[in-house]
Amino acid sequence: MHYGFKAMRTQVMLLDHDPQVVALACRPVELLWRGRGGRVVSHAPHLMARLADGSGLLVDCVGRFGAGRRLVRRAVHLEAAAATAGWHYRLVGFPSSAVEANVRWLAGYRHPRCACGRLAEVAACFRTPRALIEGVRLLGDPIAVWPSVFHALWAGVLKTPLERPLHERAVAVTSGVGAER
Q: Please tell me whether residues 67 and 121 are part of one structural domain.
A: no
Q: Please tell me whether residues 166 and 136 are part of one structural domain.
A: yes
Asked if residue 62 belongs to a domain, the reply is yes
Domain count, the chain: 2
Give the contacts of 58 (CB within 8 A, at least 6 positions apart). Answer: 29, 45, 47, 48, 78, 82, 87, 88, 89, 90
Would you place residue 154 in the very low, low, confident or very high pLDDT band (cuts 50, 70, 90)?
very high
**Stretch 157-162: mean pLDDT, rounded?**
95
Q: Please tell me whether residues 38 and 64 are part of one structural domain.
A: yes
What is the DSSP secondary structure assignment for residue 103, as one 8-state letter?
A: H
| CA distance linking residue 92 with residue 11, whole number of Å | 8
Q: Please tell me whether residues 32 and 76 are part of one structural domain.
A: yes
Asked if residue 170 belongs to a domain, the reply is yes
Asked if residue 100 belongs to a domain, the reply is no
Q: Please tell me whether residues 17 and 76 are part of one structural domain.
A: yes
- Cβ contact 99:109 at 8 Å: no
Give the range of the structural domain holding residue 29, as residue numbers without chain letter: 6-92
**Stretch 72-94: mean pLDDT, rounded?**
90
Last residue of some domain: 66, 92, 118? 92
CA 106 to chain centre: 11
Instruction: For 5-62, give the DSSP string.
Output: SHHHHHHHHHHHH-TTEEEEEES---EEEE-GGG-EEEE--SEEEEETTS-EEEEEE-
Q: Please tell me whether residues 73 and 135 are part of one structural domain.
A: no
| CA distance linking residue 81 with residue 75, whole number of Å | 10
| CA distance linking residue 60 with residue 169, whole number of Å | 36
Q: Please tell me whether residues 78 and 113 are part of one structural domain.
A: no
Asked if residue 101 belongs to a domain, the reply is no
CA dihedral 44, 47, 22, 168 (to 10 degrees): 180
Q: Please tell me whether residues 69 and 147 are part of one structural domain.
A: no
Instruction: Check whether 66 has a pLDDT greater than 60.
Output: yes
Q: Please tell me whether residues 114 and 88 are part of one structural domain.
A: no
- Global pTM? 0.80
Q: What is the pLDDT of residue 95?
A: 87
Question: b/e map of 10-40 (b: 16 or more CB within 10 Å)?
Answer: bbbbbbebbeebeebeeeeeebeeeeeeeee
Lowest mean pLDDT among 66-70, 115-119, 132-136, 149-153: 66-70
